[in-house]
Structure 1
Amino acid sequence: MTDTLTQQWTVVCPYDRVDPERGVAALVGGEQVAIFRTFDGSLYAIGNRDPIAGAYVMSRGIVGTRGDAPTVASPLHKQVYDLRTGECLDEPGVSVPVYNVRLRDDMIEISR
């Protein structure tokens, strides 16, 4: 992982604009990113493109858990992805990109 001092961070939105257990989409460096806030307040960022359907819909997915993993289910075909790693828990070898996300001065920031 890249040192946070040398990363380029992009401010996306205020923390309170993302409801718990919901996602939002943002354009970061020309790429669509899905940002999620879980019930405990943690933030996760993955690629917004569903790798199976090819549509940019992951931010509209259903947030939940599988075991101890925070997850999102694709709104199209319901495959479940680990928000920490981007790995699909239902289809081996399928994944979405994961982005660095942080909260700074009540603003959500993403780094590629």
Structure 2
Amino acid sequence: MNWHTVCPLEKIQPDTGVCALIAGTQVALFRPRADEKVYALSNIDPFAQASVLSRGLIAEHQQALWVASPLKKQRFRLSDGYCLEDESRSIPAWPARVRDGMVEVAI
């Protein structure tokens, strides 16, 4: 597993997501709260085949954090990319961490 440094944590505002190109892959990074916990999912909405998930709405449902696609509103669990509406359309998720104030993703 190779860890890639993406950006300073402060570049991702709490309650938002951003997109990063990591090792040729579009990755949506989410920071749901004001702490150092970040999540990394594919930025590609598998229903619309569009690079939009980083702009989705972060929500809590069934005691888990999710992102709702801004296009078709399907929800993907931040911890593992599981799709609530259609598990056959779940998306890749990667380990993410904050180390010395920098966001890192393992792809």
Q: Same fold (TM over 0.5)?
A: yes
Where 1:52 maps in the other structure, the secondary structure is: coil
Report the equivalent of 1:38. Answer: 32
Q: Could you list the runs of 5+ residues in structure 2 that have no partner in the other structure?
A: none
Q: CA deviation digits over 1:20-53, x for unaligned, max 9?
A: 1100000010000000001252210000000000
The root-mean-square deviation of aligned C-alpha atoms, in Å, is 1.0
Letter in 1 for 2:2: Q
Report if aligned partners of 1:21, 1:64 keep a CA contact under 8 Å in 2.
no
Pick closer, same or farther for the CA change 1:110–1:27 going to 2, 3 Å. same
* Partner Cα separation in structure 1 for residue 9 and residue 34 of structure 2: 13
TM-score of the pair, normalised by structure 1: 0.90
> Where do residues 1-112 of structure 1 align in structure 2 (5 Å cutoff)?
7-39=1-33, 41=35, 42-112=37-107
* Partner Cα separation in structure 2 for residue 105 and residue 49 of structure 1: 29
Report the equivalent of 1:4. Answer: none
Runs of 4+ in 1 over 4 A off after TM superposition: none
Q: Could you list the runs of 5+ residues in structure 1 that have no partner in the other structure?
A: 1-6
Of residues 30-39 and 92-101 in structure 1, the stretch that sits farther from structure 2 once superposed is 92-101
* Partner Cα separation in structure 2 for residue 68 and residue 93 of structure 1: 22
Letter in 2 for 1:80: R
1:61 Cα deviation after fit? 0.4
Report the equivalent of 1:3. Answer: none
